[in-house]
Homo-oligomer: A and B are copies of this chain.
Amino acid sequence: MEFEVTPWEVKGEVDYEKLIRRFGTKKITEDLRQKIKKHTKELDTMLRRDYFFSHRDLDLVLNDWEKGEGFFLYTGRGPSGPMHIGHLVPLIFTKWLQEKFGVNLYIEITDDEKYWVKDCEWKDVQKYSDENIKDIAAVGFDPEKTFIFKDSEYIRNVYPILVRAAKKITNSTAKAVFGFSGDTNIGLNFYPAYQTVPTFFEKKRCLIPCAIDQDPYWRVQRDIAEKIGYKKTAAIHSKFLPPLTGIDGKMSASDADTAIWLEDDEKAVKKKINKYAFSGGKTTIEEHRRLGGDPNVDVSFQWLKILFENDDNKLKKIETEYLSGKLLSGELKQILIEKINLFLTEHRKRREKIDVEKFTKTGALAKKMWGSFFI
């Protein structure tokens, strides 16, 4: 079956090389990785292992950086419910970029868009927004250089620039890029304009870390940016975190079983991984010992590779032993269960202690932003 990737659906086994050609983005080459490393000294796991694999204008971001012009980061979250591990992946990578370059980061909480897109109440979206902001802040961004804002609250500071952006985007473009139709409400139809706004928070170049299915959205920004006096945004694209149940598609919030939620306790994680994590192992132990497992389709191995085992030697050992049949599927799952539970425990510890207001109001960047108006 041919795979399909749109901003609202990922189906089939994705051929990422083909996707780069189809979307017209560029591959992150070894040269580019080395250019990054020149400034960061080391490469994040997700870059090293080609999980972040594609980009637009990342070379220009690095050129700007080398010329001392700097850049800034922008990402976002639609507060439609609790968050799962898949939601954290681009944030964790973003945190690494912020740490290494010491740049400003803007995180848009799209409460308006989620209200428009879902059958839900405004107060629920607000509740999830506040919960999500805590989870996001707990990733460990620099509280003095990170501004997390809700669309509905920050609107007061950005409406004129939002209005300017909206003037440059036609209904036809919104329909083509976002798949809108006559039944779409005019709020959601308007949302693509707000999505471009944070790319205009600084005159520097903006860099957006995101999964590659989000790329079409940013093409809208790249179409209009120069017309209103700003730079086209750059982007760095990841592959998809596979859902528990199989290597195809991407982890989604719409089926609770295929995701690990940040709220999942140790027992829940253990149960889910053991029950649902698609295995590349053989059906009997004997067969597995004899023929070995297939790490390429094994979700547990892939999760270790993408997020949970940063040590290349350890990962290599796991891979080799799994391939040879020495490591059983259940043992591989156990490694992942321990890693995830450690990760979630630490995340929740940080979450409890986090001073959210630093990110939304009182930190240096947040304070500056509340005093700024964008026209």
Contact = CB atoms under 8 A, between A and B. Distances in A.
A183 interface: yes
A169 interface: yes
A166 B182 contact: no
A190 B180 CA distance: 14
Nearest to A183: B170
Contacts of A372: none
B185 A168 contact: yes
Contacts of A182: 170-172, 175
Interface stretch (A151-159, A291-299, A318-326): A151-159
B187 A189 contact: no
Given A155-B156, A163-B122, A186 B192 contact: yes
Contacts of A170: 182-186
A170 B160 CA distance: 24
B171 A189 contact: yes
Interface residues of A, number: 34
A193 interface: yes
A175 B185 CA distance: 11
A159 B155 contact: yes
Given A152-B159, A156-B156, A184 B166 contact: no
A167 interface: yes
Contacts of A189: 171, 186, 189-190
A112 interface: yes
Given A122-B375, A180-B171, A163 B116 contact: yes
A187 B186 contact: no
**Number of identical protomers:** 2
Contacts of A190: 166, 186-187, 189-190
Contacts of A33: none
Contacts of A160: 122, 152
Q: Which of A115, A171, A183, A193 has the most CB of B within 10 A?
A: A171
Most buried by B among A169, A186, A187, A193: A186
Contact of A186 (B115, B155, B171): B171
A183 B169 CA distance: 9
Nearest to A159: B155
Nearest to A182: B172
Given A122-B163, A156-B155, A163-B152, A171 B193 contact: no
Interface in A182-210: 182-187, 189-190, 192-193
A70 to B, nearest CB: 28
A171 to B, nearest CB: 5
Contact of A171 (B115, B173, B183, B192): B183
Given A187-B193, A192-B186, A166 B375 contact: no
A175 B180 CA distance: 14
6 contacts: A115-B163, A122-B375, A171-B184, A171-B189, A186-B192, A189-B190
Closest 4 A/B residue pairs (Cβ)? A166-B187, A156-B156, A172-B182, A190-B190
